[in-house]
Amino acid sequence: MSNKSDQPSVQRRQFIGGTIAAAGALTLAPGVILHAASDGDKATSGASSKHRWGMLIDANKCADGCSACVDACNSEHGLTDLGRPETDAVWIRPVKLRDKQTGHVDRLVMMCQHCEHPPCVDVCPTNASFKRIDGVVLVDRHRCIGCRYCMMACPYKARSFVHEALSEQSVAAPRGKGCVESCTLCVHRIDAGEMQTACQEACTKEGHGAIVFGDLKDPNSEISRMLKSHNSVQIRADLELNTGVRYLNL
Amino acid sequence: MSKMYYRELYCGSPVRFWMGLTLLGAIIAVGLGAAYYMEHQGHWVTGMSNQIVWGLPHVFAIFLIVAASGALNVASIGSVFGGPLYKPLGRYSALLAIGLLVGGLIVLVLDLGRPDRLIVAMTEYNFKSIFAWNVILYSGFVAIVAVYLWTMMDRSMEKFKRPLGFAAFFWRIALTTGTGSIFGFLVAREAYDAAIMAPMFVIMSFSYGLAFFIITLIAAYIWGDREIGVYRLTKLKNLLGVFVGAVLYFVLAYNLTNLYVAQHHGIERFILLDGGIYTMMFWVGQILIGSIIPLFLIYSPAFENSRWAIAVASIAVLIGGFFQIYLIVIGGQAYPMNLFPGKEIIETGFFDGQIINYVPTFPEAALGVAGMAVSLALVAIGARVFKVFPETLED
């Protein structure tokens, strides 16, 4: 047989095999390296099921006309007022109520209630809405397709849709046009070991002390002790969502 | 019985066909432009907000998707339930079903905040979400109905026709159950959170789908200068009457249940009495135009053999159906959630306790109408390329 056969030569086979192996290595290697790097990150700031973060809001202490917590939340997360209240993002909002029978007036703040059984997580088609093992309900902005089903499902109207392109964002809260977002319970602070949310910090600084943040699973935390000694309520308790945010004197 | 011949639908004059397609193409182009504008600017340029999160595009999309599964009924009656009069219409029924569904899906996808992430929706599933199931139900529907259409058109595939007909029938029931459950599974809002939503959507699909079928069938036969017998149309008309009556029954059951429950008196008052535009849509749009007028046209002896009455009744059902979906989608969001029972809200930073105003904008309407144009264009091209229409439908 002459070497005119169209059978590939050994060298050619080796060359093709070598090329495929090299291309494969080039494709996989960065992934492996990144994966290893992200594993390293997890070790320092991973969420733990030993905690469940929550908040207690005292309606008696929430002061009339005060917006310190709202302003602090906005500046912490880079939520800008574009003068369009219908579409501007709102993560925390004051609500003032009057009892229809007795005329008793209450004031409180509403935000994502960080439910144990969050309806937003149930309805999200792509798993973008999720609950961390420490109870914080978040949106993965890389997975959110902007269908807004979670906004339809949230019984607390806690979520906002980003209606426009954003600039000058806060490093604490990356956001994106076309995605849904809500209170993160200042998860960036929790992960950095700072046990105080922006709203609580502002409320305390104003001297009202209406917001207490802490670990619901730690029996010695301030929030746990207060919840044990006082009668607190959940908003829309009938839905049995076991919220992480509770209210006093409501 | 004489043999049935199917032929591609050629228009009386070629100019009419191409003019028609050009018009549809222009509507689609405007809709795509509108979608680009809304995506590029962000949704603040629309009438939608953080309170009304699903707007007019969703109304169009859900309307078309619901009608799509209903449009398949005629094929199902022919091959699953063995109705000889319906059999020759099976091919067109399947083509229309695919067309309507694709039109609706395009609107739904282009109204997403991130339509570019469609691949995420196709690869990442949360099986507790009815939306995720719908992704599978909708794409599966197109696939099954396409093969079903093939078995109806290709004699060598004849043996698969019945099993596929069954599969398509059950799939379409699942599909509309899934669409109704989008609302049925929402505990948060008073207008939703009701198991009746799923069967109500199924029966709504029967009604809208058949109305779409009748009106486009008549149009196609006028367009192609072909004959269609009054007897066959009368059969379809009578079926439409039953479906319209059934929708009315479900609407009655839904509202009566709400009226019984004190917690739901507010939403009922809003729909039936003092909801302004929404009350108007209910009584005039859904009940008068969508139910009473078509029932009169269908059952009045004066119009027994009038094909115009049949056409007008079908159009009225579609208009009423559109209002019904509008009321469910937009009305259900406009009425405030009751976060604090027994309390009135005197100050809020986020429109709590207020009835929300929603005014759709032109781009939203353009996108929705473009979805309809996509459906019609697909049907027009499909009917021209495939042999879906019998040469004649004379009695």
Q: Is residue B271 part of a domain?
A: yes
CA atoms of B339 and A235, how far apart (whole Å): 7
Q: Over pLDDT 90: what percentage of chain A? A: 80
**List of chain B residues whose C-beta atoms are within 8 Å of the C-beta of residue A93:** 348-350, 352
Instruction: Decide: B257 and B194 in contact? Cβ < 8 Å.
Output: yes
Tokens at residue B75, please? 């094929």
* Predicted local distance difference test score (pLDDT) of residue A5: 46
Q: Is the pLDDT of residue A84 over 80?
A: yes
DSSP category for residue B45: G
Q: State the average pLDDT over residues A146-172.
A: 96
* pLDDT recorded at residue A15: 58
List the one residue out of B191, B186, B182, B344 whose CA is nearest residue B272.
B191
The DSSP 8-state label assigned to residue A140 in this structure reads -
CB spacing of B124 vs A156 below 8 angstroms: no
Q: Is the pLDDT of residue A43 over 90?
A: no
**Which residues in chain B land under pLDDT 50?**
1
CB count, 10 Å around CB of B45? 18
With 0-12 / 13-18 / 19 or more C-beta atoms within 10 angstroms meaning exposed / middle / buried, residue A161 is: buried
pLDDT at A196 over 50: yes
Say what the pLDDT of residue B15 is: 86
**DSSP state for residue B126 in the 8-state scheme:** -
Q: What is the pLDDT of residue A39?
A: 45
| CATH of residue B284 | 1.20.1630.10
Answer yes or no: is pLDDT of A22 > 90.
no
Dihedral over alpha carbons A32, A29, A145, A88 (to 10 degrees) = 80
Provide the shortest C-alpha distance from residue A174 to chain B (in Å): 16
Q: Which residues contact B293 (CB under 8 A, 6 or more apart)?
A: B313, B316
The angle that helices B56-71 and B130-153 make with each other, rounded to 10 degrees, is: 40
Q: How high is the pLDDT of residue B99?
A: 98
Per CB-CB distance under 8 Å, the chain B contacts of A163 are 42-44, 49-50
Q: List all residues 6 or more positions away from A31 whose beta carbon is below 8 Å from its beta carbon.
A: none
Is the predicted ipTM greater than 0.90, yes or no?
Answer: yes
> Quick one: pLDDT at residue A145?
98
B19: Cβ–Cβ under 8 A, 6 or more apart, which residues? none
Q: What is the mean pLDDT of residues A50-78?
A: 97
Residue A20 above 90 pLDDT? Answer: no
Q: Write down the residue that tokens 């209606």 correspond to.
A: A163
- At which residue do the structure tokens 């009368």 appear? B234
The Cα B201–Cα B44 span in angstroms is 30
Positive or negative: CA dihedral A53, A203, A85, B334: positive
Residue B305 pLDDT = 86
**pLDDT tens, position by position, B171-206:** 999 999 999 999 999 999 999 999 999 999 999 999
Residue A40: pLDDT over 50? no
Chain B hits for A85, CB-CB cut-off 8 Å, are: 351
pLDDT at A2: 43
Interchain pair B54, A165: CB under 8 A = no
Between A205 and B392, the higher pLDDT residue:
A205
pLDDT for A200 equals 98
Report which of B236, B224, B229, B210 is spatially closest to residue B380, judged by C-alpha positions. Answer: B224
- Residues A173 and A179: their CA atoms lie apart, in Å, by 13
* Backbone conformation region of residue A175, classed left if phi is above 0, alpha if psi is from -120 to 50, else beta: beta
Asked if B344's CB is within 8 angstroms of A98's CB, the reply is: yes
Is A152–B333 a contact, with Cβ atoms under 8 angstroms apart?
yes
Instruction: Indicate the domain borders of chain A.
Output: 8-45, 53-248
Query: Using CA atoms, how far apart are residues B305 and A154, in angstroms rounded to an integer?
Result: 51
Those residues whose C-beta lies under 8 Å from the C-beta of residue B111, and which sit 6 or more positions away, are B35, B38, B55, B57, B58, B61, B367
Any domain includes B159: yes
User: Alpha-carbon dihedral of residues A207, A212, A218, A219, nearest 10 degrees?
Assistant: 80
Report the residue from A70, A101, A179 with minimal CB separation from B342.
Answer: A101
Distance CA A83, CA A72 (A): 18
**Contact (CB<8Å) B112/A145:** yes
For B44, the closest of A87, A122, A143 (CB atoms) is A87
**What is the distance between the alpha carbons of residues B271 and B283, in angstroms, rounded to a whole number?**
9
Question: In B261-361, which residue ranges form alpha helices assigned H by DSSP?
Answer: 265-269, 277-280, 293-299, 307-326, 332-334
Mean pLDDT for the stretch of residues A78-92: 96
pLDDT of res. A33: 47
Q: What's the whole-number average pLDDT of chain B?
A: 95
- Cβ of B347 and A95 within 8 Å? yes
pLDDT of residue A9: 54
Asked whether residue B345 is domain-assigned, the answer is no
- Tell me which of 3.30.70.120, 3.30.565.10, 3.30.70.20, 3.10.580.10 is the CATH number of domain A53-248: 3.30.70.20
Q: Rounded to whole angstroms, what are the CA distances from B200 to A148, B56, B177, B195, B291?
A: 23, 21, 9, 9, 15
Q: Which structural domain, as residue segments, surrounds residue B195?
A: 6-338+351-390
Cβ atoms of residues A214 and A225 within 8 Å: no
Residue A243 pLDDT greater than 90, yes or no: yes
User: Quick check: is B346 in a domain?
Assistant: no
Burial of A237 (0-12, 13-18, 19+ CB in 10 A): exposed
- What whole-number distance in Å separates Cα of residue A102 and Cα of residue B268? 26
Q: Which of B154, B168, B144 is nearest to B76 (CA)?
A: B168
Asked whether residue A25 carries a pLDDT value surpassing 80, the answer given is no
Rounded alpha-carbon distances, angstroms, from residue B5 to A124, B114, B278:
49, 47, 48
pLDDT at A34 over 50: no
For residue A130, give the nearest of B179, B128, B119 by alpha carbon: B128
3-state secondary structure of B212: helix
Domain count, chain B: 1
Question: Would you say A94 and B347 are in contact if contact means Cβ atoms under 8 Å apart?
Answer: yes
